[in-house]
Amino acid sequence: MDTAAPLPQEGTLPSSGHTDVPAGASIAADCPAVNDVLARVGDKWSMQVVMTLADGPVRFNALRRAIDGISQRMLTRTLRALERDGLVVRAVTPSVPPRVDYSLTELGRSLREPVRALGAWAIAHRAAIEAARADFDRREA
């Protein structure tokens, strides 16, 4: 799994100041905007939707089939929320039957990058996380 980084547990010794992170780290946490975005991005379906739209416009039911497990209600709600935040645009083609395509805005596209970084982290460390959980649960039980 990971590269067995030799970095010691900085947590064990508070005496020697700290390690590497300047106070600037706070930019990412104490600001309410971050928590806000995390809440939007962290819900059950938003990022699934954004990533499914990453390759281009997708119709409502195609989206629904692509995501697997999402209910019609939640897809609608999620899309509306994303649209409200300017991450997604809704394009209606008035035909019979009606056709509605959803696609990412430039803002929405810019979100893919940090999310992909988080996704990469998740994939890189999932094994470590699962191992930690198993370990914790074993000790707990």
Decide: is 117 part of the binding site for a second copy (CB under 8 A).
Answer: yes
Helix (H) or strand (E) holding 89: strand 88-93
Say which residue the tokens 């600037």 belong to.
Answer: 24
Between 40 and 124, CB nearer to DNA: 40
Residue 115's binding partner out of a second copy, DNA, none, with CB under 5 to 8 Å set by partner kind: a second copy
Which tokens hold the place of 65?
């089939």
Q: Binding of a second copy at residue 109 (CB under 8 A)?
A: yes
Burial per residue of 34-71, b for 16 or more beta-carbon CB atoms within 10 angstroms, e otherwise: eeeeeebeeeebbbbbbbbbbeeebebeebbeebeebe
Site string for a second copy, 14-53 (x = CB under 8 A): x--xxxxx-x-xxxxxxx-xxxxxxx-xxxx--xx-xxx-
18 binds, among a second copy, DNA, none (CB under 5 to 8 A by kind): a second copy
Residue with tokens 């409200």: 84
Q: Least distance from C-beta 48 to a second copy, angstroms? A: 6
Choice from 99, 116, 126, 133 touching DNA (CB under 7 A): 99
Using rule CB under 7 A, residue 43 touches DNA: yes
Is residue 17 a contact residue for DNA (CB under 7 A)?
A: no
Contact of 75 with 107, CB cutoff 8 Å: no
Task: State the Cα–Cα distance between residues 102 and 125, nearest whole angstrom.
Answer: 32
Q: Which residues in this chain contact DNA in the complex, by CB under 7 A? A: 43-45, 59-62, 69-74, 76, 79-80, 90, 97-102
